[in-house]
Structure 1
Amino acid sequence: MSMKDYTIAFLGAGSMAEAIIAGMTSKEMVPSDRIIATNHSNKERLTALENKYGIRTSQSREDVVSQSDIIILAMKPKDIQSAIAEVKDFLSDSKIVVSLLAGISTQYIEQLLETNNAVVRVMPNTSAMIGQSASTITGGQYVDFSTVGLIKNLMTSIGTTTLIQEEEMDAYTALAGSAPAFYYYMVEAMEKFVEEQGLNKETAKPLMAQTIKGVAEMLATTDDTPTTLREKITSPGGTTEAGIKTLGQHEFQQAVIACLQRTTERSKELREMFEK
Protein backbone atom coordinates (compact mmCIF):
# COMPACT_ATOMS: atom_id res chain seq x y z
CA MET A 1 0.00 0.00 0.00
CA SER A 2 1.50 3.31 -1.10
CA MET A 3 1.54 6.33 1.22
CA LYS A 4 -0.78 8.04 -1.25
CA ASP A 5 -3.40 5.35 -0.58
CA TYR A 6 -3.73 6.21 3.11
CA THR A 7 -6.33 8.61 4.45
CA ILE A 8 -4.91 10.69 7.29
CA ALA A 9 -6.94 12.39 10.02
CA PHE A 10 -5.81 15.22 12.27
CA LEU A 11 -7.60 15.55 15.60
CA GLY A 12 -6.56 19.12 16.29
CA ALA A 13 -5.74 21.80 13.76
CA GLY A 14 -3.05 23.94 15.37
CA SER A 15 0.34 25.04 14.07
CA MET A 16 2.00 21.61 14.23
CA ALA A 17 -0.89 19.95 12.41
CA GLU A 18 -0.65 22.65 9.75
CA ALA A 19 3.11 22.17 9.42
CA ILE A 20 2.63 18.46 8.69
CA ILE A 21 -0.27 19.13 6.32
CA ALA A 22 1.84 21.72 4.49
CA GLY A 23 4.76 19.30 4.23
CA MET A 24 2.68 16.38 3.01
CA THR A 25 0.84 18.42 0.38
CA SER A 26 3.85 20.37 -0.89
CA LYS A 27 5.87 17.16 -1.29
CA GLU A 28 2.84 15.36 -2.74
CA MET A 29 3.25 12.52 -0.24
CA VAL A 30 -0.49 12.30 0.30
CA PRO A 31 -3.22 13.76 -1.96
CA SER A 32 -4.90 16.71 -0.27
CA ASP A 33 -8.31 15.06 -0.59
CA ARG A 34 -7.05 12.16 1.56
CA ILE A 35 -6.27 14.48 4.47
CA ILE A 36 -9.07 15.32 6.91
CA ALA A 37 -8.82 17.72 9.85
CA THR A 38 -11.11 18.43 12.76
CA ASN A 39 -10.92 20.43 15.96
CA HIS A 40 -13.06 20.99 19.01
CA SER A 41 -14.94 24.13 17.99
CA ASN A 42 -12.98 26.53 15.74
CA LYS A 43 -14.78 26.23 12.41
CA GLU A 44 -12.99 29.30 10.99
CA ARG A 45 -9.64 27.59 11.49
CA LEU A 46 -10.84 24.49 9.64
CA THR A 47 -12.16 26.59 6.78
CA ALA A 48 -8.82 28.39 6.51
CA LEU A 49 -6.93 25.08 6.27
CA GLU A 50 -9.41 23.72 3.75
CA ASN A 51 -9.03 26.79 1.53
CA LYS A 52 -5.23 26.94 1.84
CA TYR A 53 -4.34 23.27 1.31
CA GLY A 54 -7.41 21.77 -0.37
CA ILE A 55 -7.90 19.24 2.42
CA ARG A 56 -11.21 18.03 3.78
CA THR A 57 -12.49 19.15 7.17
CA SER A 58 -15.27 18.14 9.52
CA GLN A 59 -16.47 19.06 12.98
CA SER A 60 -17.36 15.43 13.67
CA ARG A 61 -14.46 13.50 15.16
CA GLU A 62 -16.37 10.27 14.71
CA ASP A 63 -16.76 10.80 10.97
CA VAL A 64 -13.12 11.80 10.58
CA VAL A 65 -11.82 8.73 12.42
CA SER A 66 -14.19 6.35 10.65
CA GLN A 67 -12.92 7.49 7.24
CA SER A 68 -9.19 7.39 8.07
CA ASP A 69 -6.34 4.90 8.20
CA ILE A 70 -3.92 7.02 10.25
CA ILE A 71 -5.19 9.21 13.09
CA ILE A 72 -2.83 11.95 14.26
CA LEU A 73 -3.48 13.27 17.77
CA ALA A 74 -2.62 16.97 17.52
CA MET A 75 -4.87 18.49 20.18
CA LYS A 76 -3.64 20.01 23.43
CA PRO A 77 -2.34 17.31 25.82
CA LYS A 78 -4.95 18.24 28.43
CA ASP A 79 -7.70 17.24 25.98
CA ILE A 80 -6.40 13.71 25.34
CA GLN A 81 -8.90 11.89 27.57
CA SER A 82 -12.03 13.52 26.14
CA ALA A 83 -10.78 13.23 22.55
CA ILE A 84 -10.05 9.51 22.78
CA ALA A 85 -13.31 8.86 24.63
CA GLU A 86 -15.16 10.35 21.64
CA VAL A 87 -13.44 8.27 18.98
CA LYS A 88 -12.20 4.97 20.42
CA ASP A 89 -15.38 3.10 19.50
CA PHE A 90 -14.75 3.97 15.85
CA LEU A 91 -11.21 2.59 15.72
CA SER A 92 -10.90 -0.67 13.82
CA ASP A 93 -7.80 -2.74 14.63
CA SER A 94 -6.00 -1.72 11.43
CA LYS A 95 -6.00 2.01 12.21
CA ILE A 96 -2.72 3.58 13.31
CA VAL A 97 -2.72 6.22 16.05
CA VAL A 98 0.08 8.81 15.96
CA SER A 99 0.58 11.13 18.92
CA LEU A 100 2.29 14.53 18.73
CA LEU A 101 1.49 15.22 22.37
CA ALA A 102 4.32 16.19 24.70
CA GLY A 103 4.41 14.34 28.00
CA ILE A 104 1.96 11.59 26.96
CA SER A 105 3.38 8.05 26.71
CA THR A 106 2.25 5.40 24.25
CA GLN A 107 1.35 3.19 27.21
CA TYR A 108 -1.07 5.81 28.54
CA ILE A 109 -2.70 6.24 25.13
CA GLU A 110 -3.06 2.46 24.84
CA GLN A 111 -4.77 2.41 28.24
CA LEU A 112 -7.21 5.11 27.13
CA LEU A 113 -7.94 3.35 23.85
CA GLU A 114 -8.49 -0.08 25.45
CA THR A 115 -7.66 -1.63 22.07
CA ASN A 116 -4.68 -3.24 20.35
CA ASN A 117 -4.21 -0.41 17.85
CA ALA A 118 -0.67 0.52 16.92
CA VAL A 119 0.34 3.72 18.72
CA VAL A 120 3.33 5.72 17.50
CA ARG A 121 4.67 8.75 19.37
CA VAL A 122 6.43 11.56 17.51
CA MET A 123 8.11 14.60 19.05
CA PRO A 124 8.64 17.28 16.39
CA ASN A 125 9.98 20.77 17.05
CA THR A 126 8.84 24.15 15.81
CA SER A 127 11.24 24.12 12.85
CA ALA A 128 8.65 21.82 11.31
CA MET A 129 7.04 25.04 10.09
CA ILE A 130 9.83 25.35 7.49
CA GLY A 131 10.35 21.61 6.93
CA GLN A 132 13.42 21.49 9.19
CA SER A 133 12.19 19.66 12.29
CA ALA A 134 14.47 17.26 14.12
CA SER A 135 11.76 14.81 15.21
CA THR A 136 12.08 11.73 17.39
CA ILE A 137 9.81 8.71 17.03
CA THR A 138 9.01 5.66 19.15
CA GLY A 139 6.41 2.91 19.02
CA GLY A 140 4.10 1.32 21.57
CA GLN A 141 3.71 -2.36 22.37
CA TYR A 142 1.46 -3.17 19.38
CA VAL A 143 3.69 -1.53 16.76
CA ASP A 144 5.78 -3.48 14.25
CA PHE A 145 8.79 -2.27 12.26
CA SER A 146 6.78 -1.66 9.11
CA THR A 147 4.38 0.65 10.94
CA VAL A 148 7.22 2.64 12.49
CA GLY A 149 8.83 2.86 9.06
CA LEU A 150 5.59 4.11 7.55
CA ILE A 151 5.18 6.91 10.09
CA LYS A 152 8.89 7.72 9.98
CA ASN A 153 8.56 8.20 6.23
CA LEU A 154 5.45 10.33 6.71
CA MET A 155 7.27 12.62 9.12
CA THR A 156 10.05 13.31 6.63
CA SER A 157 7.53 15.81 5.28
CA ILE A 158 8.62 18.16 8.09
CA GLY A 159 12.33 17.32 8.42
CA THR A 160 14.43 14.47 9.81
CA THR A 161 13.08 11.68 12.02
CA THR A 162 15.17 9.59 14.43
CA LEU A 163 13.99 6.34 16.02
CA ILE A 164 14.56 6.18 19.80
CA GLN A 165 13.44 4.16 22.83
CA GLU A 166 10.46 5.65 24.66
CA GLU A 167 12.36 5.88 27.94
CA GLU A 168 14.74 8.26 26.15
CA MET A 169 11.96 10.62 25.06
CA ASP A 170 12.21 12.99 28.04
CA ALA A 171 15.90 13.63 27.43
CA TYR A 172 15.43 13.99 23.68
CA THR A 173 12.61 16.43 24.35
CA ALA A 174 15.29 18.63 25.92
CA LEU A 175 17.86 18.03 23.17
CA ALA A 176 15.54 18.50 20.20
CA GLY A 177 11.97 19.38 21.18
CA SER A 178 12.70 22.34 23.46
CA ALA A 179 16.19 23.12 22.19
CA PRO A 180 15.20 25.63 19.48
CA ALA A 181 14.11 27.99 22.27
CA PHE A 182 17.52 27.68 23.91
CA TYR A 183 19.31 28.58 20.69
CA TYR A 184 16.94 31.52 20.20
CA TYR A 185 17.70 32.63 23.75
CA MET A 186 21.42 32.78 22.95
CA VAL A 187 20.69 34.78 19.80
CA GLU A 188 18.62 37.18 21.93
CA ALA A 189 21.79 37.87 23.91
CA MET A 190 23.67 38.50 20.68
CA GLU A 191 20.93 40.94 19.62
CA LYS A 192 21.50 42.87 22.85
CA PHE A 193 25.19 43.02 21.95
CA VAL A 194 24.23 44.37 18.51
CA GLU A 195 22.25 47.15 20.21
CA GLU A 196 25.06 47.95 22.63
CA GLN A 197 27.55 48.23 19.77
CA GLY A 198 25.21 50.42 17.74
CA LEU A 199 25.20 47.96 14.84
CA ASN A 200 22.48 47.77 12.21
CA LYS A 201 19.95 45.05 13.16
CA GLU A 202 19.06 44.33 9.53
CA THR A 203 22.73 43.76 8.74
CA ALA A 204 23.45 41.66 11.83
CA LYS A 205 20.44 39.30 11.69
CA PRO A 206 21.33 37.46 8.44
CA LEU A 207 24.96 37.21 9.58
CA MET A 208 23.90 35.54 12.83
CA ALA A 209 21.45 33.24 11.04
CA GLN A 210 24.01 32.17 8.44
CA THR A 211 26.62 31.57 11.14
CA ILE A 212 24.24 29.24 13.00
CA LYS A 213 23.33 27.52 9.74
CA GLY A 214 27.01 27.01 8.93
CA VAL A 215 27.72 25.56 12.38
CA ALA A 216 24.79 23.15 11.97
CA GLU A 217 26.09 22.02 8.57
CA MET A 218 29.59 21.47 9.96
CA LEU A 219 28.19 19.34 12.79
CA ALA A 220 26.03 17.35 10.37
CA THR A 221 28.51 16.79 7.55
CA THR A 222 31.94 16.37 9.14
CA ASP A 223 33.33 13.61 11.34
CA ASP A 224 34.94 16.12 13.70
CA THR A 225 33.62 16.41 17.24
CA PRO A 226 32.28 19.75 18.48
CA THR A 227 35.43 20.05 20.59
CA THR A 228 37.68 19.57 17.56
CA LEU A 229 35.68 22.06 15.50
CA ARG A 230 35.92 24.62 18.30
CA GLU A 231 39.64 24.09 18.78
CA LYS A 232 40.29 24.57 15.06
CA ILE A 233 39.06 28.15 15.25
CA THR A 234 40.41 28.98 18.71
CA SER A 235 43.93 30.31 18.23
CA PRO A 236 46.07 30.81 21.35
CA GLY A 237 45.93 34.43 22.40
CA GLY A 238 43.28 35.23 19.79
CA THR A 239 39.85 36.81 19.90
CA THR A 240 37.93 33.52 19.96
CA GLU A 241 39.97 32.18 22.86
CA ALA A 242 39.25 35.36 24.82
CA GLY A 243 35.54 34.84 24.31
CA ILE A 244 35.67 31.12 25.19
CA LYS A 245 37.55 31.89 28.40
CA THR A 246 34.89 34.42 29.36
CA LEU A 247 32.15 31.84 28.78
CA GLY A 248 34.10 29.42 30.98
CA GLN A 249 34.38 32.01 33.74
CA HIS A 250 30.59 32.32 33.67
CA GLU A 251 30.18 28.51 33.74
CA PHE A 252 28.44 28.49 30.36
CA GLN A 253 28.61 24.72 29.82
CA GLN A 254 27.38 23.99 33.34
CA ALA A 255 24.42 26.32 32.73
CA VAL A 256 23.54 24.54 29.48
CA ILE A 257 23.73 21.11 31.14
CA ALA A 258 21.56 22.33 34.04
CA CYS A 259 19.06 23.72 31.54
CA LEU A 260 18.80 20.38 29.72
CA GLN A 261 18.55 18.44 32.97
CA ARG A 262 15.73 20.63 34.23
CA THR A 263 13.91 20.39 30.91
CA THR A 264 14.16 16.59 31.09
CA GLU A 265 12.87 16.58 34.66
CA ARG A 266 9.95 18.80 33.69
CA SER A 267 9.03 16.48 30.84
CA LYS A 268 8.88 13.61 33.35
CA GLU A 269 6.80 15.71 35.75
CA LEU A 270 4.29 16.60 33.04
CA ARG A 271 4.00 12.95 31.99
CA GLU A 272 3.31 11.90 35.57
CA MET A 273 0.77 14.70 35.97
CA PHE A 274 -1.12 13.81 32.78
CA GLU A 275 -1.10 10.10 33.52
CA LYS A 276 -2.37 10.20 37.09
Structure 2
Amino acid sequence: MLKLHITNETSRLRAVILGLANSNGPTPTLEEAYDPKSAEYIKAGTYPLEKDMVKEMTAVRDVLEKYEVKVYRPEQIEDYNQIFTRDIGFVIDDIFFKANILPDREREIDAIQYVIDQIDSKKVHRFPEDHHIEGGDVMPIGDYIFVGTYRESDYSNYITARTNMKAVNALQEMFPNKTVKSFNLRKSSTDPRLNALHLDCCFQPVGKNKAIIHKNGFLNEDEYEWLVNFYGKENVFEIDSDQMYAMNSNIFSIAEDVVISEKNFTKLNAWLRAQGITVEEVPYAEISKQEGLLRCSTLPLIRD
Protein backbone atom coordinates (compact mmCIF):
# COMPACT_ATOMS: atom_id res chain seq x y z
CA MET A 1 0.00 0.00 0.00
CA LEU A 2 1.06 3.56 -0.70
CA LYS A 3 0.99 5.62 2.50
CA LEU A 4 0.51 9.18 1.32
CA HIS A 5 1.88 12.15 3.23
CA ILE A 6 1.81 15.75 2.00
CA THR A 7 1.52 18.60 4.50
CA ASN A 8 3.46 21.30 2.64
CA GLU A 9 5.16 22.24 -0.61
CA THR A 10 8.83 21.93 0.28
CA SER A 11 9.60 18.98 2.59
CA ARG A 12 11.87 16.23 1.26
CA LEU A 13 10.10 14.50 -1.63
CA ARG A 14 9.92 10.68 -1.65
CA ALA A 15 7.34 9.79 -4.33
CA VAL A 16 5.78 11.68 -7.23
CA ILE A 17 3.77 11.14 -10.42
CA LEU A 18 5.59 12.89 -13.27
CA GLY A 19 3.63 13.62 -16.45
CA LEU A 20 4.32 12.10 -19.84
CA ALA A 21 5.03 13.80 -23.18
CA ASN A 22 5.28 10.63 -25.30
CA SER A 23 2.59 10.32 -27.97
CA ASN A 24 1.45 13.85 -27.27
CA GLY A 25 -0.66 14.00 -30.40
CA PRO A 26 -0.82 16.57 -33.19
CA THR A 27 -0.68 20.31 -32.53
CA PRO A 28 -4.13 21.29 -31.24
CA THR A 29 -6.35 23.61 -33.25
CA LEU A 30 -7.05 27.07 -31.86
CA GLU A 31 -10.54 25.89 -30.83
CA GLU A 32 -8.95 23.10 -28.78
CA ALA A 33 -6.65 25.39 -26.79
CA TYR A 34 -7.41 25.39 -23.06
CA ASP A 35 -5.55 28.62 -22.28
CA PRO A 36 -4.43 31.85 -24.01
CA LYS A 37 -0.70 31.03 -23.95
CA SER A 38 -1.10 27.78 -25.88
CA ALA A 39 -3.33 29.65 -28.34
CA GLU A 40 -0.58 32.22 -28.90
CA TYR A 41 1.96 29.53 -29.91
CA ILE A 42 -0.55 27.62 -32.04
CA LYS A 43 -1.21 30.86 -33.95
CA ALA A 44 2.50 31.59 -34.33
CA GLY A 45 3.25 28.08 -35.59
CA THR A 46 5.75 27.52 -32.74
CA TYR A 47 3.74 25.12 -30.61
CA PRO A 48 6.18 22.70 -28.91
CA LEU A 49 7.24 19.48 -30.63
CA GLU A 50 6.85 16.13 -28.94
CA LYS A 51 10.54 15.18 -29.22
CA ASP A 52 11.60 18.40 -27.45
CA MET A 53 9.05 17.94 -24.67
CA VAL A 54 10.09 14.31 -24.11
CA LYS A 55 13.69 15.51 -23.78
CA GLU A 56 12.68 18.15 -21.22
CA MET A 57 10.67 15.70 -19.11
CA THR A 58 13.50 13.16 -19.21
CA ALA A 59 15.80 15.80 -17.73
CA VAL A 60 13.36 16.26 -14.83
CA ARG A 61 13.06 12.51 -14.27
CA ASP A 62 16.86 12.25 -14.13
CA VAL A 63 17.06 14.95 -11.43
CA LEU A 64 14.31 13.28 -9.37
CA GLU A 65 16.06 9.92 -9.60
CA LYS A 66 19.37 11.51 -8.65
CA TYR A 67 17.69 12.44 -5.34
CA GLU A 68 16.26 8.91 -5.01
CA VAL A 69 12.66 9.97 -5.46
CA LYS A 70 10.28 7.19 -6.54
CA VAL A 71 8.90 8.34 -9.91
CA TYR A 72 5.59 7.05 -11.26
CA ARG A 73 4.45 7.86 -14.82
CA PRO A 74 0.93 7.76 -16.28
CA GLU A 75 0.07 4.87 -18.59
CA GLN A 76 0.41 6.12 -22.15
CA ILE A 77 -2.69 7.19 -24.06
CA GLU A 78 -2.05 7.43 -27.80
CA ASP A 79 -2.00 10.95 -29.27
CA TYR A 80 -2.93 12.67 -26.04
CA ASN A 81 -1.41 15.37 -23.83
CA GLN A 82 -0.56 13.84 -20.43
CA ILE A 83 2.07 16.32 -19.26
CA PHE A 84 0.21 18.18 -16.53
CA THR A 85 -0.48 15.62 -13.81
CA ARG A 86 -0.91 18.36 -11.19
CA ASP A 87 -4.27 19.26 -12.75
CA ILE A 88 -5.76 15.82 -12.29
CA GLY A 89 -5.12 15.15 -8.61
CA PHE A 90 -3.54 16.30 -5.38
CA VAL A 91 -2.75 15.02 -1.90
CA ILE A 92 -3.52 16.71 1.42
CA ASP A 93 -2.19 14.88 4.49
CA ASP A 94 -2.89 11.22 3.60
CA ILE A 95 -5.86 11.73 1.27
CA PHE A 96 -5.70 11.55 -2.52
CA PHE A 97 -8.18 13.85 -4.26
CA LYS A 98 -9.22 13.14 -7.82
CA ALA A 99 -9.69 16.57 -9.36
CA ASN A 100 -12.87 17.64 -11.12
CA ILE A 101 -11.22 18.82 -14.30
CA LEU A 102 -12.48 19.82 -17.74
CA PRO A 103 -14.59 16.77 -18.75
CA ASP A 104 -12.58 15.89 -21.86
CA ARG A 105 -9.48 15.34 -19.70
CA GLU A 106 -11.03 12.56 -17.63
CA ARG A 107 -8.91 9.94 -19.43
CA GLU A 108 -5.82 11.39 -17.78
CA ILE A 109 -7.10 10.26 -14.39
CA ASP A 110 -7.72 6.74 -15.76
CA ALA A 111 -4.06 6.66 -16.84
CA ILE A 112 -2.87 7.00 -13.21
CA GLN A 113 -5.51 4.65 -11.80
CA TYR A 114 -2.84 1.94 -11.28
CA VAL A 115 -1.19 4.28 -8.74
CA ILE A 116 -4.51 5.19 -7.09
CA ASP A 117 -5.24 1.45 -6.75
CA GLN A 118 -2.23 1.20 -4.41
CA ILE A 119 -3.83 3.67 -1.98
CA ASP A 120 -6.33 2.61 0.70
CA SER A 121 -9.68 3.25 -1.02
CA LYS A 122 -10.97 5.03 2.10
CA LYS A 123 -8.22 7.60 1.49
CA VAL A 124 -9.30 8.42 -2.09
CA HIS A 125 -11.83 11.23 -2.40
CA ARG A 126 -13.71 13.04 -5.12
CA PHE A 127 -16.00 16.03 -4.70
CA PRO A 128 -19.40 16.23 -6.46
CA GLU A 129 -19.17 17.21 -10.11
CA ASP A 130 -20.20 20.85 -9.60
CA HIS A 131 -17.28 21.36 -7.16
CA HIS A 132 -14.58 22.37 -9.66
CA ILE A 133 -11.03 21.94 -8.41
CA GLU A 134 -7.58 21.33 -9.92
CA GLY A 135 -4.29 20.59 -8.18
CA GLY A 136 -2.55 23.71 -9.48
CA ASP A 137 -4.86 25.75 -7.25
CA VAL A 138 -4.27 23.74 -4.05
CA MET A 139 -1.31 24.19 -1.69
CA PRO A 140 -1.12 22.60 1.76
CA ILE A 141 1.00 24.89 3.99
CA GLY A 142 1.12 23.31 7.46
CA ASP A 143 -2.01 24.47 9.32
CA TYR A 144 -3.25 26.24 6.18
CA ILE A 145 -4.52 25.13 2.81
CA PHE A 146 -4.10 27.90 0.23
CA VAL A 147 -6.52 27.64 -2.69
CA GLY A 148 -6.68 29.71 -5.87
CA THR A 149 -10.22 30.41 -7.07
CA TYR A 150 -12.33 32.86 -9.06
CA ARG A 151 -15.14 34.42 -7.07
CA GLU A 152 -16.62 36.77 -9.69
CA SER A 153 -20.14 36.31 -11.11
CA ASP A 154 -18.86 35.65 -14.66
CA TYR A 155 -17.02 32.46 -13.55
CA SER A 156 -18.74 30.32 -16.18
CA ASN A 157 -17.47 32.56 -19.01
CA TYR A 158 -13.86 31.56 -18.40
CA ILE A 159 -12.34 28.26 -19.47
CA THR A 160 -9.39 29.51 -17.39
CA ALA A 161 -11.46 29.53 -14.15
CA ARG A 162 -10.71 26.06 -12.76
CA THR A 163 -11.58 26.03 -9.04
CA ASN A 164 -14.84 27.35 -7.59
CA MET A 165 -15.95 28.33 -4.09
CA LYS A 166 -18.06 25.18 -3.70
CA ALA A 167 -14.84 23.17 -3.71
CA VAL A 168 -13.10 25.65 -1.38
CA ASN A 169 -15.92 25.36 1.16
CA ALA A 170 -15.97 21.56 0.88
CA LEU A 171 -12.23 21.46 1.62
CA GLN A 172 -12.79 23.53 4.76
CA GLU A 173 -15.45 21.05 5.90
CA MET A 174 -13.10 18.13 5.33
CA PHE A 175 -10.22 19.75 7.21
CA PRO A 176 -11.84 21.58 10.15
CA ASN A 177 -8.49 21.82 11.96
CA LYS A 178 -6.85 23.71 9.11
CA THR A 179 -7.56 27.20 7.78
CA VAL A 180 -8.55 27.08 4.12
CA LYS A 181 -7.56 30.46 2.67
CA SER A 182 -8.80 31.26 -0.82
CA PHE A 183 -7.25 33.76 -3.23
CA ASN A 184 -9.25 35.41 -6.00
CA LEU A 185 -7.15 35.11 -9.18
CA ARG A 186 -7.09 37.31 -12.27
CA LYS A 187 -8.45 35.45 -15.31
CA SER A 188 -8.21 36.15 -19.02
CA SER A 189 -9.11 33.92 -21.93
CA THR A 190 -7.15 36.10 -24.36
CA ASP A 191 -4.07 37.61 -22.66
CA PRO A 192 -1.68 35.14 -21.01
CA ARG A 193 0.10 37.97 -19.17
CA LEU A 194 -3.16 38.76 -17.38
CA ASN A 195 -4.19 35.18 -16.71
CA ALA A 196 -3.33 33.28 -13.55
CA LEU A 197 -4.57 29.88 -14.71
CA HIS A 198 -3.89 28.41 -11.25
CA LEU A 199 -2.52 29.71 -7.95
CA ASP A 200 0.90 28.22 -8.82
CA CYS A 201 1.02 30.52 -11.87
CA CYS A 202 1.41 33.56 -9.60
CA PHE A 203 2.64 32.19 -6.27
CA GLN A 204 4.78 29.42 -4.80
CA PRO A 205 6.45 28.81 -1.44
CA VAL A 206 10.13 27.75 -1.49
CA GLY A 207 12.69 26.87 1.16
CA LYS A 208 11.69 27.16 4.81
CA ASN A 209 9.79 30.44 4.78
CA LYS A 210 10.24 32.08 1.38
CA ALA A 211 7.91 32.64 -1.56
CA ILE A 212 7.73 33.73 -5.20
CA ILE A 213 4.80 36.09 -5.87
CA HIS A 214 3.31 37.97 -8.83
CA LYS A 215 1.17 40.80 -7.46
CA ASN A 216 -1.04 41.29 -10.50
CA GLY A 217 -2.12 37.63 -10.48
CA PHE A 218 -4.34 38.50 -7.52
CA LEU A 219 -7.62 40.35 -8.09
CA ASN A 220 -7.83 41.53 -4.47
CA GLU A 221 -4.81 43.52 -3.35
CA ASP A 222 -5.50 42.76 0.32
CA GLU A 223 -5.10 39.03 -0.38
CA TYR A 224 -1.74 39.67 -2.04
CA GLU A 225 -0.73 41.85 0.96
CA TRP A 226 -1.79 39.08 3.34
CA LEU A 227 0.55 36.64 1.57
CA VAL A 228 3.48 39.07 1.63
CA ASN A 229 2.94 39.61 5.37
CA PHE A 230 2.60 35.87 5.94
CA TYR A 231 6.13 35.33 4.56
CA GLY A 232 7.64 38.72 5.37
CA LYS A 233 8.61 41.20 2.63
CA GLU A 234 12.30 40.32 2.92
CA ASN A 235 11.51 36.66 2.16
CA VAL A 236 9.54 37.31 -1.02
CA PHE A 237 10.83 37.27 -4.60
CA GLU A 238 8.47 39.48 -6.64
CA ILE A 239 8.05 38.60 -10.31
CA ASP A 240 6.71 40.86 -13.08
CA SER A 241 4.21 39.91 -15.79
CA ASP A 242 6.93 38.73 -18.19
CA GLN A 243 8.41 36.47 -15.52
CA MET A 244 4.95 35.20 -14.69
CA TYR A 245 4.33 34.55 -18.40
CA ALA A 246 7.55 32.50 -18.45
CA MET A 247 6.21 30.63 -15.39
CA ASN A 248 8.86 31.67 -12.83
CA SER A 249 6.52 30.80 -9.96
CA ASN A 250 6.08 27.26 -11.24
CA ILE A 251 9.33 25.63 -10.17
CA PHE A 252 9.29 22.48 -8.02
CA SER A 253 10.81 21.72 -4.62
CA ILE A 254 12.53 18.39 -3.94
CA ALA A 255 13.41 19.59 -0.43
CA GLU A 256 13.66 22.83 1.54
CA ASP A 257 17.17 23.26 0.16
CA VAL A 258 16.76 21.78 -3.36
CA VAL A 259 14.56 22.97 -6.24
CA ILE A 260 14.21 22.09 -9.91
CA SER A 261 14.02 25.26 -11.99
CA GLU A 262 14.09 26.29 -15.64
CA LYS A 263 17.61 27.14 -16.78
CA ASN A 264 16.59 30.49 -18.28
CA PHE A 265 15.25 31.86 -14.97
CA THR A 266 18.58 33.60 -14.29
CA LYS A 267 17.36 36.21 -11.78
CA LEU A 268 15.19 33.79 -9.84
CA ASN A 269 17.84 31.06 -9.79
CA ALA A 270 20.47 33.53 -8.52
CA TRP A 271 18.07 34.64 -5.76
CA LEU A 272 17.36 31.02 -4.78
CA ARG A 273 21.08 30.27 -4.55
CA ALA A 274 21.55 33.38 -2.41
CA GLN A 275 19.02 31.85 -0.01
CA GLY A 276 21.20 28.74 0.27
CA ILE A 277 19.02 26.63 -2.01
CA THR A 278 20.58 24.21 -4.51
CA VAL A 279 19.07 24.86 -7.96
CA GLU A 280 18.90 21.91 -10.35
CA GLU A 281 18.46 23.62 -13.72
CA VAL A 282 16.61 21.88 -16.54
CA PRO A 283 15.45 23.01 -20.00
CA TYR A 284 11.66 23.41 -19.87
CA ALA A 285 10.95 26.35 -22.18
CA GLU A 286 9.04 24.27 -24.75
CA ILE A 287 6.63 22.81 -22.22
CA SER A 288 6.11 26.28 -20.72
CA LYS A 289 4.46 27.32 -24.01
CA GLN A 290 1.38 25.43 -22.78
CA GLU A 291 1.04 27.68 -19.71
CA GLY A 292 2.47 25.09 -17.35
CA LEU A 293 5.91 24.30 -15.96
CA LEU A 294 7.55 22.10 -13.33
CA ARG A 295 4.95 22.20 -10.55
CA CYS A 296 2.20 21.62 -13.14
CA SER A 297 3.78 18.43 -14.42
CA THR A 298 4.39 16.80 -11.01
CA LEU A 299 1.92 15.29 -8.54
CA PRO A 300 3.68 14.67 -5.21
CA LEU A 301 2.47 11.66 -3.20
CA ILE A 302 4.91 11.47 -0.28
CA ARG A 303 7.04 14.07 1.44
CA ASP A 304 8.79 13.64 4.79
Fold similarity call, TM over 0.5:
no
Q: Higher relative CO (CA 8 A, sep ≥ 6), structure 1 or 2? A: 2
Q: Which has the higher helix share?
A: 1
Question: What TM-score does the superposition give when structure 2 sets the normalisation length?
Answer: 0.28
Which is higher, the Rg of structure 1 or of structure 2? 1
Bigger strand share: 2
TM-score (normalizing by structure 1): 0.30
